[in-house]
Amino acid sequence: MAGVKLHGTWYSPFPYRVIWALKLKGISYEYIEEDLSNKSPLLLQYNPVHKKIPVLVHSGKPICESMIIIEYIEEKWPQTPLLPSDPYERAKARFWVKFFEEKAPAIWPLYRSTGEEQKKALKDSLEMLKIVEEQGLGEKKFFGGESIGIVDIAFGVIAHWFGVFEEVVEVKVLEAHAFPRLHAWKENFEEVPVIKENLPDRDKMLDYFKKRRMEILSASQ
């Protein structure tokens, strides 16, 4: 695979989406760790508009935005498809990806704030999870059916990162009795070998996000 490079940060869920897609399709790549407090000239050159990770660089050409990168990977390397082949089912999958992209930012204030703002984030997160639980997953093992697909990858944040946030803020959101389907999905998702072998270390994340939360809260005072 001529020159596939991925720029990311070890603690962010977004580059992991790309890692999972690449690994599921058996594509080798070089990973480059970025320091977001000191963005490399290369990153700014590859993503001048948003200046964010992940960026996939293929034969010197950059692609930005994690879900757009995944659609690119899917088209370039069709083995182990992540999207259904039927256009209607593809549209449904893309709908859930977009749903999560629009609603997931409600989660961040849960972690980044306190008091009323945090309470609202909790309410918004619960509403979002309820919709996904009841209308997104249904009786399926994965959003993609019997095996994981693009929607599972998009929702991967909930599988691994969300639990860390819950621990950092000491608020339980995704409770098994309230969200039995999502809870089961989470466990199944993390057992998939490619996922299991490609997750940031949980203790390291806990440390990092605890520190970051203290920095954010003291900066906003």
Binder of other proteins out of 28, 35, 38, 75 (CB under 8 A): 75
Residue 46: helix, strand or coil by DSSP? helix
Residue 185 CB, nearest distance to other proteins (Å)?
18
Interface with other proteins, residue 76, by CB under 8 A: yes
Picking from 186, 212, 184, 213, the residue whose alpha carbon sits closest to that of residue 199 is 186
Interface with other proteins, residue 94, by CB under 8 A: yes
Rg (CA), the chain: 18
- Interacting positions 34-53 with other proteins (CB under 8 A): 49
Residue 175 CB, nearest distance to other proteins (Å)?
22
Interface with other proteins, residue 57, by CB under 8 A: no
Q: Are 94 and 102 in contact (CB under 8 A)?
A: no
Residue 15 CB, nearest distance to other proteins (Å)?
16
Cα–Cα distance measured from residue 196 to residue 30, given in angstroms and rounded to the nearest whole number: 20
Q: Which two tokens stand for residue 126?
A: 């619960």
Binder of other proteins out of 12, 21, 46, 65 (CB under 8 A): 65
Residue 47 Cα to chain centre, angstroms: 19
Residue 91 CB, nearest distance to other proteins (Å)?
4
Interface with other proteins, residue 108, by CB under 8 A: no
Binder of other proteins out of 51, 98, 172, 211 (CB under 8 A): 98
Interface with other proteins, residue 135, by CB under 8 A: yes
| Residues whose CB falls within 8 Å of the CB of residue 130, separated by 6 or more in sequence, listed in order | 179
Binder of other proteins out of 10, 31, 32, 71 (CB under 8 A): 71
Smaller CB separation from other proteins, 41 or 87? 87
- To which H or E segment does residue 112 belong? helix 108-112
Smaller CB separation from other proteins, 50 or 177? 50
| Sheet architecture: strand order including 55-58 | 30-33, 4-8, 55-58, 61-64
The one-letter amino acid code at 94 reads: R
| Residues whose CB falls within 8 Å of the CB of residue 181, separated by 6 or more in sequence, listed in order | 133, 137, 138, 139
Binding residues (CB under 8 A) for other proteins: these are 49, 58, 61, 63-65, 68-69, 71-72, 75-76, 87-88, 90-91, 94-95, 98-99, 131, 135
